[in-house]
Structure 1
Amino acid sequence: MTTPDGAARYPVEWEADVILRDGSTTHLRPITPEDADALQAFHVAQSERSIYMRFFAPLKRLPERDLERFTHVDHVDRVALIAVASSTTTAAAPLALAAGTPEPEERILGVARYDRITPDEAEVAFNIADSVQGRGLGSVLLEHIAAAARERGVRRFSAEVLPQNTRMLAVFREAGYDVSQRVEDGIVAVSFDLDPTERSRTVMAERERRAEARSVQGLLEVASVVVVTDPDTPAGSPVALLAERAVESLVATRRLVPPGAADEPRGTDRHGSARGDGGPGLHIDVVGLAGASRLWNRDEVTYHATLDALRSTGRTVDLAVVALDADATVEAVRDLAHLGPRGVLVLGEGFAETGSDGLALQRDLLHTARTAGMRVVGPGSYGLARLTGDVPVAATIAAGAPAPGRIGLFCQSSPTAVTLLATFARRGLGLSTFLSAGNRADVSGNDLMQFWHEDAATDVVCLYLESIGNPRKFSRIARRLSAVKPVVVVTAGRSGQVVPPGHAVRASHAPRRTLEEMLRQSGVIRAENTHQMADVAQLLDTQPLPAGRRIGIVTSSAALASLVAEAASSAGLLVTGHVGIVGESADDATAAAVVDEVSGGEIDALVAVDIPVLGLGDGAFTRAVARAAARTGRTTVASVLGRHGLDGELASTTDDGRRVQVPAYATPEDAVLALASVARYAAWRERDHGEYLRPDADQARALELAESWTRADEEVRLAPEQVAELLACYGIDVEPSIEVHDAESAVAAAERLGWPVALNNMDAALRHRQDLGGVRLGLQDVDDLREAFAAMRAEGRERLGTDVRLEVQAMVPAGVACVVRTVEDPLFGPVVAFGLAGDAIDLLGDVSYGIPPLTDVDVDEMVRSVKAAPKLFGYQGLAPMDTAAVEAVLARASRLADDLPVLRSLELYPIVVGHEGARVLQARATLGRTLRPDESRRAMPAPPR
């Protein structure tokens, strides 16, 4: 852990941007000697009580000896992390600096440090600035210092805390670790193991969810917005147009304030500053937009020549919208920190998508914003909108503001946003929330899903994803959200591995089906394109979830009914035989009688299709369908010539006055595909998804072994005995085998293992391939073994052209051979695969995939979803195999892959599943350093490098 000259290496990988409890951001990094002045200023600014809680004594200034010791660490046995923020934020307090000392760019908000006292244990201490206490910084620092300690081989923390330091004791107690404490001489001695527990993971995930949701809320639920552009930008230029479009969008939503409300007092913003002279709606400041005063009146927009002019008013803002050239954006964001915005929306491009120089600008942008406590939307964003609540806001470059509604919409690129917003508007679909992430440098779909989980204004979630920066986290969040709200996802490309310019995404080596399996496991509704997304969204937005797959059909002709039935059956719906034909010339009474008869049957949903060939219909069909949907409450979809989206003629009112809208589709096929997708989701939501599996394991021993065998920057293939030792930590036993070089050593091995035995060719192309002469089974005695040895050596030389390696293994009971594989993918993290051994998996790709952690239901479905699975369940009259045993092996391998990021690959092949038990005959494993982020600490996406 040192550089060639012997100095301690600065662990840049420990740097992280984090979100605090109130939604603000800060930067964590290891301390350096250059932080001495800032650390002294941090200490001097603390209250007497805080200093006493940390040092057990009054200490107005840190002695020079202590200051040097605190800032000169080796990042191994002595580690310190600091949380820093920009000195330019509105919350920045004056620093207590020595005379003549220039003010540093960053203020220290908190310090966490440990000092190793034994090879396995370290003493830990924290100090949090008075100004940020209660915002969860102590918990975040604990997560990160614990992760750093584990990397350095520390397995246990201890601390001494004064009994009255209740905040610090609460941080330890609420972290989810198994904490022990005792009182000695008036001091509380606290200690706990650092290995993550199920409770600590749950606590961290919940804190992360609340913090990220709060940060998105701060972006969307605002009362004041400033739009910033360059006053020297020529009118009509792209940058000027971006700013004008953003202001126009903001003004349009400001005008949504109800008439008469303009006479009410505006009050103050969240900082206690006056918001302006207009009504109680959104307050809009515009900086630097030349000639803008002729576009909007001063009751709607307040104009400022420069940011300094706005700052001089003493006001603060909630959201900043920046429309500037890339090289000017970073400086503007730095200046905006004085106004205290919660987030910054960057409309302009010219960042990471342009190459290395733009990438550097994007890194600077993120660092500047995050150390100032701001989230970043963009760069290259199409905008954001929050259309519900007391103060609607839309800051987009669209021609008009979206209509309010109950759908949350997230997308990335501006071109896609144009298409999606136009599609939703054309169909009459309203939005609760819209956000375009652009380069997705910071705010992502994961953040929005965290917000939407608790958002009472959003019923349906739609995501268009050009890239998924953290699929592992996406899967966890989407699964939780899908359990309460439908999530519709479109990915750019079937594999989900498209990497648009400007997106920081690690390369993936996982099979294309991995993404599909991950989405299925998460319970999301996968749409093929934006058209299908809108089809599904309009059904979810207007109709209840179907109780099952049984459908009734009402059409305007018998031929059409047959076509609809075929389309529905192909989509996985169950056609019950409840079919009604409404003639073109039917009056209201006749149409109602037919529709009522079908909708009153034993069905879960109704498909209504009306294509009047002669054009004789007067609306009796649509009226009957709408009324039946309102009366029965059954899921209903319609395809009516000339109708699309939410059409008023397909709406009706219930007896209690509630309006029910039947969604209309361009074609019957579109209608049944949308209905089938929603029916599958409804079934998934009703199913028991099981409990996450955590089989008993000696994780600490496995980590110790893996760490001792891993080499820096190279892949290590473990010897068979090492693989067996590692697997034993997770309760997986490998049947012993002995490599033999001649017939005599083969006989000796058989005597040692016990007869009967198998003789295996160890070459990768022939091992376990009985059909290719790679295996001889059931060898009962010495003569059988000698004959088999001679034959296999001769056949092997003929097939391979080289000497062959053979091994002897004791026979196990007959059964079905299976394979379990895991791989550590740079993008997806651990991926687990299951299949039946032989051609089914090797040639036909009959494999199921899962992303750990897996539930018992996930494991059950993985085993049953492969096409060759019937061989395990009594195929052609044979007795069923012990599937529970192979599921247990799969679960243990999954936990091993989840626990050990250094496990690059694992193969259990074959696993012979008998009528009782499952035996692992061979196992292979490789280790190597990986890029998987440590999930035992919360961190925002790192700036691309």
Structure 2
Amino acid sequence: MTAVDLPPGYPRQWEADVVLRDGSVAHIRPITPADAEAVHRFHAGQSEESIYMRFFAPLRRLSDRDVERFTNVDYTDRVALVATVRGQIIGIGRYDRITPTSAEVAFNIADSYQGKGIGSVLLEHLAVIAWESGVEEFTAEVLPQNAKMISVFSEAGYEVTRRFEDGVVSLRFDIQPTERSEAVRLSREHRAESVSMRSVLFPDSIAVVGASRRSDSIGHHILANILAAGFTGSVHAVNREALEVLGLPAHTRVSEISDHVDLAVVAVPAQEVPEVVADCAEAGVRTLLVVSAGFAESGEEGAELQADLLTTARENGMRVLGPNSFGVINTDETVKLNASLAPQMPPPGRLGLFAQSGALGIAVLASATRRGLGISVFASAGNRVDVSGNDFMQYWIDDDNTDTVGLYLESMGNPRKFSRIARRLATIKPVIVVKSGVSTYGVPPGHRARTSRVRPEAFDAMLRQAGVIRVENVHQMFDVAQLVTNQPLPGGNRVAVVGNSDALGALTAEACVSWGLEVSHGPVSLPSDAKGEEFAQALATAFADPEVDSVLTCFIPPLVTLDEDVATAVRDAALKSEKPCLATFLGMRGVVERLSGRTDDGRDEVVPAYSMPEDAVRALAAATRYAEWRSRDHGVPVHPAGIDLEAAERLVERVLHEAPDGRRLTEDEVRELLGAYGIDVWASVSVTSADEAVAAADTLGYPVVVKSVAPLVRHSPGMSGIRVDLRTPDQLRDAYAALNDRLAPLAANTFVVQRMATPGVSCVLRSEEDPLFGPVVSFSIAGPPTELLGDIGHRIPPLTDVDVSDLISSVKAAPMLHGHRGAAPVNRAALADLVARVSVLADNLPEIARLTLNPVNAQPAGVDVLGAEVTVAPAPQRKDQGRRSLT
């Protein structure tokens, strides 16, 4: 539907592609008058029972007048959404406002699509739309026998009240988002997106489109790899010019295959892909794996092809992995899938890997094989037009075959959703991330992603907040993976160091200290001619030490003892303990086999080996920090009392009505906005003379400060632009005159008078609406830590109380808050409450482009907000904004 066909006021931002309960995709959009004929067809295809359930009457045909009323809405008081697949309406949801805060809601789902969660999705989207327009309550009238529709409301997480009257059940429920309704939404999203990955990873049948007889073609390689891996399902070759390929009969089109195809691997030139995708849609293919290149990474023409690929796939209910994908591998014995360019199937194991780049996929798999790390699932998203790492993380949450997840990310399309899913996954399995290009947030050609304005440290903060292990390269990712996949997690940061070299032991111990680990045992250095039994005894003593949480072993090639004896001693000692063990063997080879064994309870366990102690220590430090995060209390979402969201929204709406492009708020508007969130901003009075300064002080009350607000000196180190603790008019006049004489030549004599605050620690609290991350909240200590050193902490709302505390503690200057050099500690609870209020404000109001509280005076009795600036702008369309959507 083109923009010309859309009615006035059509809210395009309501459009969304969603994953249904069975893993297929449907398109949600507002209804339009052009849908009249489609509504007639939809109604005609319904059973008599469904029609009666919806209209309480046997209406075999809707009148043209009724359809016109249904399809002509104002998108404000009368709202209707349709769910479509292949251009056909499969569900309709609508609400009609009854009062300013109440609306009646109704649904009609196609018989053939009932049970796929369409009603739940439509309710979810309608509730968000209604809430944003001021509706607080939905009502509905349902026949008692319509159990399916009653369950849509009752299972959505809302508190539903029922009343039976005149043969009809009247339902009523508040639609304000609650923790329970949000949990239901996220649970449904997780299940649907996890299921959608099964058609990628566990297809019953595969068609390789472009399966050439030429051995140097991509299609030939992929088909050969699928067959060589022993895929347990059916395989079909699609080639217009051949009768058979690699012993399989060749079909000219996917739609000619009699078998239903779950996964179509597309390996044809980019210009031919649209025709192939259309044919796959006709054949009812569930998922496309597009390995073809020549899309958005190649220029504008390719970008158009990529956009058309996504549109066609989404309209026809298909998921897309790629284009420009290296492929997908699943080592599960029930499927044995190698639909990739990897010539050999990696050994099965417990590590799930995701990489965007195809070329990098080769390196990742090769590195895993060299390390002896088995793989459960490997996937390459290529240009990431649809399926992303978020989808695979949803799958890995429930996958019993995967214990550790490794992600190589070149770009990120939806960080808020990534953070939310990664946090859930990290609570049960280690998640290791390599992210390239964070210094500039450069996005590789072909990737759909918004540009970020915030500092790269915000990305690191997001990963820490989610419990993700961040590493710098693939080498480090596998260093960590081989530890957390094969060994227990550390119970603390205390380390024993055991080896056969004083120099190597000292080097290992120094590395531990530099990474924040405590060497509580050793370093123990055995003689170079020590026997295997002596190594075993030293290791047993280290493992038995109650002050030890992890054991690091480091050996140089001994002159007498055999390599195998040392490896066996390490393995046997580790198998008897629940503490993790890491081994460094300089110059030794073939120790991996000797370091593998089985515990008494039947678990296979490997002591990871490293060529240098620094690599082992870095991996252990990462695992230790992760274990600490996983075992700690992650807190509860912050909900500060005394917030008037409606008052804040009215203010923002008023300002944007006056200034559609946005503007900086006046001082009174800032006080009004922040006051709605329980934040009191101290008054300051602009003055241009000593007399005005005295008059302001008489109003505010002594003692006062007079300070310059000129950018040149504002918040600069020292006291060059401020005089404090002025208690009399004469002191104030003298201070004003002195400042004016000094700053007038610099055009910095712009002054305000403010009441004197109790001495404390000056802090800076900011929030910024970022195109990529959404709201980002930052905290720092004012002055040199912020201005010169960049000592600034960041977090991504929504925050828990633990997140708030971590943010405050994350800056290096945080000890200044806790009584540095004999000063009284600040009121940490009051400071945390202020941070929580700013985070909720930033999360609630995307129109707040920038907010700065500077200075925030943290002192023993509380916090004083002495200065504030706020800029509002039209709200960007956030991703992950409270309703399910593939973005």
TM-score under structure 1 normalisation? Answer: 0.89
Match among 214, 222, 235 for residue 214 of structure 2: 235
Match of 1:895, SS? helix
Match among 222, 225, 237 for residue 286 of structure 1: 237
Maintained 8 Å contact 2:681/2:864: yes
Match of 1:81 in 2: 81
Match of 2:758 in 1: 813
Match among 637, 654, 669 for residue 708 of structure 1: 654
Match of 2:119 in 1: 138
Count of residues paired in the alignment: 882
Instruction: Quote how far apart the aligned CAs of 1:188 are.
Output: 3.8
Match of 1:752, SS? helix
After superposition, residues 401-800 of structure 1 pair within 5 angstroms as 401-495=345-439, 497-602=441-546, 603-612=548-557, 617-643=562-588, 647-655=592-600, 658-696=603-641, 697-710=643-656, 714-769=661-716, 771-800=718-747
Maintained 8 Å contact 2:763/2:779: yes
Q: Which runs of 5+ in 2 are unaligned?
A: none
Aligned partners of 2:545, 2:94: CA distance in 1, in Å?
69
Aligned partners of 2:196, 2:790: CA distance in 1, in Å?
43
Aligned partners of 2:350, 2:672: CA distance in 1, in Å?
54
Q: Which amino acid aligns with 1:253?
A: A
Aligned partners of 2:92, 2:863: CA distance in 1, in Å?
51
Query: Residue 129 in 1 paired to residue 110 in 2?
Result: yes
Aligned partners of 2:781, 2:117: CA distance in 1, in Å?
49
Maintained 8 Å contact 1:580/1:595: no
Give deviations 1:314-358, integer Å, cap 9, x for gaps.
Answer: x21221111111222122122123433321111101112122222
Match of 1:175 in 2: 156
Instruction: Quote how far apart the aligned CAs of 1:284 are.
Output: 1.0
Aligned partners of 1:570, 1:288: CA distance in 2, in Å?
59
Over the matched positions of the two proteins, sequence identity in percent amounts to 48
* Change over 3 Å in CA distance of 1:210–1:645 after alignment to 2: farther
Maintained 8 Å contact 1:348/1:381: yes
* Change over 3 Å in CA distance of 1:734–1:396 after alignment to 2: same
Q: Which is further off, 438-447 or 907-916?
A: 907-916
Match among 779, 790, 800 for residue 834 of structure 1: 779
* Change over 3 Å in CA distance of 1:151–1:652 after alignment to 2: closer
Aligned partners of 2:134, 2:635: CA distance in 1, in Å?
34
Maintained 8 Å contact 1:404/1:431: yes
Instruction: Quote how far apart the aligned CAs of 1:110 are.
Output: 0.7
Aligned partners of 1:235, 1:625: CA distance in 2, in Å?
51
Instruction: Quote how far apart the aligned CAs of 1:864 are.
Output: 1.9
Match of 1:906, SS? strand
Instruction: Quote how far apart the aligned CAs of 1:706 are.
Output: 1.7
Match of 2:861, SS? coil
Q: Which amino acid aligns with 1:393?
A: L
After superposition, residues 862-881 of structure 1 pair within 5 angstroms as 862-881=807-826
Aligned partners of 2:706, 2:716: CA distance in 1, in Å?
12
Aligned partners of 2:138, 2:601: CA distance in 1, in Å?
62
Maintained 8 Å contact 2:567/2:591: no
Match of 1:245 in 2: 221
Match of 1:266 in 2: none
Q: Which amino acid aligns with 1:541?
A: T
* Change over 3 Å in CA distance of 1:682–1:770 after alignment to 2: closer
Match of 1:894 in 2: 839
Match of 1:685, SS? helix
Aligned partners of 1:871, 1:294: CA distance in 2, in Å?
72
Q: Which is further off, 185-194 or 366-375?
A: 185-194
Aligned partners of 1:167, 1:5: CA distance in 2, in Å?
35
Q: Which amino acid aligns with 1:833?
A: S
Match of 1:215 in 2: 196
* Change over 3 Å in CA distance of 1:178–1:714 after alignment to 2: farther
Match among 197, 211, 216 for residue 178 of structure 2: 197
Aligned partners of 2:120, 2:647: CA distance in 1, in Å?
27
Aligned partners of 1:713, 1:235: CA distance in 2, in Å?
60
Match of 1:90 in 2: none
Query: Residue 914 in 1 paired to residue 859 in 2?
Result: yes
Q: Which amino acid aligns with 1:733?
A: D
* Change over 3 Å in CA distance of 1:717–1:155 after alignment to 2: farther
Q: Which amino acid aligns with 1:43?
A: H
Q: Which amino acid aligns with 2:228?
A: A
Match among 301, 307, 312 for residue 357 of structure 1: 301
Q: Which is further off, 919-928 or 49-58?
A: 49-58
* Change over 3 Å in CA distance of 1:618–1:149 after alignment to 2: closer
* Change over 3 Å in CA distance of 1:799–1:180 after alignment to 2: farther
* Change over 3 Å in CA distance of 1:787–1:593 after alignment to 2: closer
Give deviations 1:696-742, integer Å, cap 9, x for gaps.
Answer: 22223322322222257623211111111111221111122233344
Match of 2:519, SS? strand
Instruction: Quote how far apart the aligned CAs of 1:189 are.
Output: 3.8
Match among 924, 927, 940 for residue 872 of structure 2: 927
Match of 2:145 in 1: 164
Aligned partners of 1:781, 1:242: CA distance in 2, in Å?
85
Give deviations 1:850-905, integer Å, cap 9, x for gaps.
Answer: 11111111111221222222221111112212111111101110111011111111
Aligned partners of 1:664, 1:770: CA distance in 2, in Å?
51
Q: Which runs of 5+ in 1 are unaligned?
A: 87-105, 256-280
Instruction: Quote how far apart the aligned CAs of 1:151 are.
Output: 4.7
Give deviations 1:819-869, integer Å, cap 9, x for gaps.
Answer: 110001111111111111122211211211111111111111221222222
Q: Which is further off, 874-883 or 66-75?
A: 66-75
Maintained 8 Å contact 2:286/2:317: yes
Maintained 8 Å contact 1:693/1:854: yes
Query: Residue 307 in 1 paired to residue 277 in 2?
Result: no
Match of 1:885 in 2: 830
Give the ranges of 4+ consecutive aligned residues of structure 1 lying more than 6 Å apart after TM superposition. Answer: 3-6
Instruction: Quote how far apart the aligned CAs of 1:191 are.
Output: 4.1
Aligned partners of 1:645, 1:57: CA distance in 2, in Å?
78
Instruction: Quote how far apart the aligned CAs of 1:624 are.
Output: 0.9
Q: Which amino acid aligns with 1:64?
A: D
Match of 1:321, SS? strand
Match of 1:401, SS? coil
Maintained 8 Å contact 1:325/1:349: yes
Match of 1:62 in 2: 62
Match of 1:771, SS? coil
Give deviations 1:161-205, integer Å, cap 9, x for gaps.
Answer: 333333333323333345455445444444444442333222221
Aligned partners of 1:772, 1:586: CA distance in 2, in Å?
67
Q: Which amino acid aligns with 2:822?
A: G
Q: Which is further off, 47-56 or 637-646?
A: 637-646
Aligned partners of 1:746, 1:191: CA distance in 2, in Å?
59
Aligned partners of 2:438, 2:487: CA distance in 1, in Å?
29
Aligned partners of 1:588, 1:616: CA distance in 2, in Å?
7
Q: Which amino acid aligns with 1:718?
A: L
Instruction: Quote how far apart the aligned CAs of 1:420 are.
Output: 0.2
Maintained 8 Å contact 2:530/2:561: no
* Change over 3 Å in CA distance of 1:438–1:768 after alignment to 2: closer
TM-score under structure 2 normalisation? Answer: 0.94
